[in-house]
């Protein structure tokens, strides 16, 4: 039994925190991509949780959220648990890696324990929020597509709408380093300004929902909020020269992405490579289906 969970890129967001972790989340917009996580889960005799990432066993601290997700199933399963994660996306660069690991783990173990997709998703969302992996990746990763998070929260609480998008779009992205989310958000986290700017941009996307409007508003959002440092700004301006639809910054990584037409791909990749990425450039498709069990 193997699960695929798409990576998830957020380009606009604002956090909403409540006492109930399932009602906590973010509003915003983003896209699920064809690069992600493949996760398998099984029961083992040895009475502990073993987590492997790309073939190597990792400690509890290196896989904290997946570990805590697995722990939620321990009593039900009544023996040990082995989770194997293979991933094509980096951690800490804004690709929703933590959500993908958590959701993949929850779905595999949820299948063993007899849970629905959304009951498994709730466990992943709760642990993501509680352990500060992220606020708005898990539900979109279940739904897939180019999405607008119109109401915050996990499955059963949030509302993930989709923008109508052509299957043919390619998404090119690259990362130039990790960001500590708290460094960039800092006291802006709960600020009225972030809420106001994001809400205005989200409303514009809802009333004119297409890829161009998504990206224009995302770019303006990161500009207005002062999220773009000189490096990212230079890169985005250079990419503008070779892209018909503006690229934007991935929230929150030192990373950029954009929707690219076939004849633009090579030029876009060349620019990205010149800026010496630590990951990518990768060329993904939109993942329209969301997390799924593979044969």
Which residues here bind its own copies, judged by CB under 8 A?
A: 107, 110-111, 114-119, 144-145, 148, 150-151, 155-156, 159, 161-164, 166-168, 206-210, 288-289, 292-293, 295
Q: Output the six-digit token pair for 84.
A: 């194997």
Shortest spacing between CB 71 and its own copies, in angstroms: 21
Strands 49-53 and 80-87: parallel
Closest approach, Cβ 246 to its own copies, in A, equals: 19
H helices of the chain, where? 64-77, 97-113, 117-130, 138-143, 181-185, 192-207, 211-224, 230-240, 265-274
Shortest Å distance, C-beta 148 to its own copies: 7
Residue number, 94 or 144, with CB nearest to its own copies: 144
CB of 78 to its own copies, least distance (A): 17
**Closest distance of CB 76 from its own copies, Å:** 12
Residue 20 near residue 261, CB atoms below 8 Å? no
Closest C-alpha to 194, from 2, 27, 23: 27
Return the ∠ at Cα 235 (arms to 230 and 241), rounded to 5°: 130
Q: Which is closer to its own copies, CB of 156 or CB of 177?
A: 156
Identify which of 194, 198, 236, 192 has the alpha carbon closest to the alpha carbon of residue 218: 198
In the complex with its own copies, the residue whose CB is nearer, 230 or 295, is 295
Nearer to its own copies, 144 or 281 (CB): 144
Q: Are 262 and 291 in contact (CB under 8 A)?
A: no
Supply 145's token pair.
Answer: 């597509």
Pick between residue 166 and residue 229 the one whose CB is nearest to its own copies.
166
Residues 6+ away with beta carbon under 8 Å from 290 = 6, 32, 140, 141, 142, 143, 144, 145
CB of 233 to its own copies, least distance (A): 30
Cβ 114 to its own copies shortest distance, Å: 5
For 144-160, what is the HEC assignment? Answer: CCEEEEEECCCCCCCEE
Q: Which is nearer to its own copies, 117 or 235 (CB)?
A: 117
> Minimal distance in Å, beta carbon 107 to its own copies?
7
In the complex with its own copies, the residue whose CB is nearer, 148 or 184, is 148
**Residue 233 half-sphere exposure toward CB, CA atoms < 13 A:** 10
Considering beta carbons, is residue 19 or 207 the nearer one to its own copies? 207
Q: Considering only CA atoms, which of 102, 31, 98 is closest in space to residue 73?
A: 102
């Amino acid at each position: 039994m193997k699960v695929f969970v798409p990576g998830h890129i957020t380009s606009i967001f604002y956090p909403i925190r409540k006492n109930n972790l399932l009602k906590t989340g973010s509003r915003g917009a983003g896209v699920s991509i064809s690069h992600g996580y493949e996760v398998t889960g099984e029961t083992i005799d040895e009475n502990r949780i073993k987590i492997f990432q790309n073939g190597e066993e990792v400690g509890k601290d290196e896989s904290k959220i997946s570990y805590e997700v697995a722990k939620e199933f321990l009593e039900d399963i009544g023996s040990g648990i082995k989770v194997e994660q293979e991933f094509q996306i980096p951690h800490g660069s804004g690709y929703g890696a933590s959500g993908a690991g958590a959701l993949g783990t929850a779905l595999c173990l949820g299948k063993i324990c007899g849970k629905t997709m959304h009951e498994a998703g709730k466990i992943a969302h709760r642990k993501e929020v509680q352990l500060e992996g992220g606020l708005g990746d898990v539900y979109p990763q279940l739904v897939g597509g180019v999405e607008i998070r119109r109401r915050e929260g996990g499955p059963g609480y949030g509302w993930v709408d989709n923008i109508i998008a052509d299957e043919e779009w390619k998404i090119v992205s690259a990362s130039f380093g990790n960001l500590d989310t708290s460094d960039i958000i800092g006291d802006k986290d709960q600020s009225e300004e972030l809420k106001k700017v994001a809400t205005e941009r989200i409303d514009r996307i809802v009333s004119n929902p297409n890829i161009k409007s998504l990206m224009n508003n995302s770019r303006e959002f990161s500009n207005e909020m002062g999220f773009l440092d000189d490096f990212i700004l230079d890169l985005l301006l250079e990419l503008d020269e070779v892209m018909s639809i503006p690229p934007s910054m991935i929230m929150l990584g030192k990373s950029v992405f954009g929707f690219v037409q076939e004849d633009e791909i090579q030029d876009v990749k060349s620019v990205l490579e010149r800026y010496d990425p630590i990951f990518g450039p990768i060329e993904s498709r939109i993942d329209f289906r969301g997390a799924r069990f593979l044969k």
